[in-house]
Amino acid sequence: MLGRKKVFLKHAPSWQTAMPNSKAGEAIRAISHMGPQRAASLAKAVRSKLTTREWEQVSKMKPSVPAWMVNAINETELAN
């Protein structure tokens, strides 16, 4: 309880909360939110808006994210 309100906390994987105040972290969460069907197209769109360094931070998250996100990131890297 928080005052008179009930508060529910949900567990999130650590990779979803990584890099909380960065564009790379926002990119990871956005790709995740779009799901496997749209991840590749969103990753390509996101890549065009990030600096090389920011994209490198996204790429470094590959060991931690689901396989479908790794595939989307890899496809984007191969396209560039």
What the block records as the tokens of 2 is: 């928080």
**Residue 1 pLDDT more than 70?**
no
pTM over 0.75: yes
Length of the chain equals 80
- The amino acid sitting at 26 is E
User: How far is the C-alpha of 21 from the C-alpha of 1, rounded, in Å?
Assistant: 28
Confidence (pLDDT) at 11: 87
SS3 content of the chain, % helix, strand, coil (to 5): 60, 0, 40
* 1, 44, 45 from 40: Cα distances, Å: 41, 6, 9
Enumerate the domain spans of the chain. 20-79
**Better-predicted residue by pLDDT, 10 or 57:** 57
Question: What is the SS3 assignment for 5?
Answer: strand
- pLDDT tens, 10-43? 888 999 999 999 999 999 999 999 999 999 999 9
